[in-house]
Amino acid sequence: MTIKIEMLRCFATVAQTGNLAEAAERLGRTQSAISMTLKQLEAHLGKRLFESDRKNRLTPLGEHVFELAQAQLRQFDFTVHAIETSASSPEGVIRVASIPSMARSVFPRTIQTLTAQYPGLRVELRDADSQQVTDALLRGQADIGIVSGAPRLNGIRQTELFSDRFGLICARDHPLARQEHRPTLAEVTSQGFLGNNLYTIIEDDAVRKAVEGARVTVPNTLSLIAMIRSGLWVTILPSSVVDFLPDELLFRRIEGLSARRQVSMLMREKTMFPELAEAFWDEVKALDWEGRERAVEASG
């Protein structure tokens, strides 16, 4: 017997719900059909996937199979969606994944230009952190990516767009915002400091040592900003995040901190619609990145 995708979907749904009845309702099948499918899967593997017939607890093998099944189902569903989207798009699809801070500066004008040039074009955008962007490119789930850093990846073209300085992000009424002199790194990391994923690309050992002591880490940028808005927390981020900061937050330079973040654009060498990917690439590269770099350099 060959394990089929619907067999994995059946197992994963039962594992998620913890019972046959709800799984059967979600899948539009009878409980007996669901039970039979699970028995076939367990018979093929030669081991149980659930601790009991109640199906509310997985065996160690079941937990491992569940993790693998979820990954396979996500990839399968994504592939089906991509096929259907491509078939319904007269001029094709371009899929873009980007760090959130680039959305305001890159997407509006670029996409307006491309959709005017290709009236039948469909564009899919998603916000993600840099690791998620590169993963999406390597898995074929995105054509273009914009990331922090300058990764060199096999089968991926890369170009550097601009760089910006790391500094303090805090509420306007925070003591570090009101003091006359630029805050020091020691002052920043002692004032309810929040860790995040971006400072890991800072190569300065002194900075890394200072920020690794953060007791609270918030990887998601939007969640991070929400915490800082309370006025109780601060963090270190690149200056270009001011593009989407709420008015009650600000960016300040940190005394003695010269570390910068490089922003790069990546593109898969093999895409479904290479003409569209090249057009997006050219439009983004043509933006005034030198002007942007000067503007963010002057901030804070």
* Model pLDDT, residue 298: 64
* Model pLDDT, residue 1: 63
Cβ-count burial 64-95 (b if 16+ within 10 Å, e if not): ebbeebeeebeeeeeeeebeeeeeebebbbbb
Domains and CATH numbers, the chain: 5-84 (1.10.10.10), 87-161+262-298 (3.40.190.10), 164-260 (3.40.190.10)
Tell me the backbone φ, ψ of residue 259, rounded to 5 degrees. -60, 145
Judged on CB neighbours under 10 Å (0-12, 13-18, 19+), 38 is buried
The alpha carbon of residue 200 and the mean position of all alpha carbons in its chain are separated, in whole angstroms, by 16
Instruction: Give CA–CA dist 258/204, Å, rounded.
Output: 9
The stretches in the chain having pLDDT less than 50 are none
What is the full DSSP assignment across 192-224? Answer: SBEE-SGGGG---HHHHHHHTT-SEE--SHHHH
* Number of other residues whose CB lies within 10 A of the CB of residue 27: 17
Across the strands, what pairs with 5?
A: none
Question: Is the entire prediction scored with pTM above 0.75?
Answer: no
Instruction: Give CA–CA dist 111/108, Å, rounded.
Output: 6
Is residue 58 within 8 A of residue 11, CB to CB? The reply is no
What is the percentage of the chain residues whose pLDDT exceeds 90? 40
* Model pLDDT, residue 181: 94
Angle in degrees, 0-180, between the axes of helices 103-117 and 274-285, rounded to the nearest 10? 130
* Model pLDDT, residue 190: 85
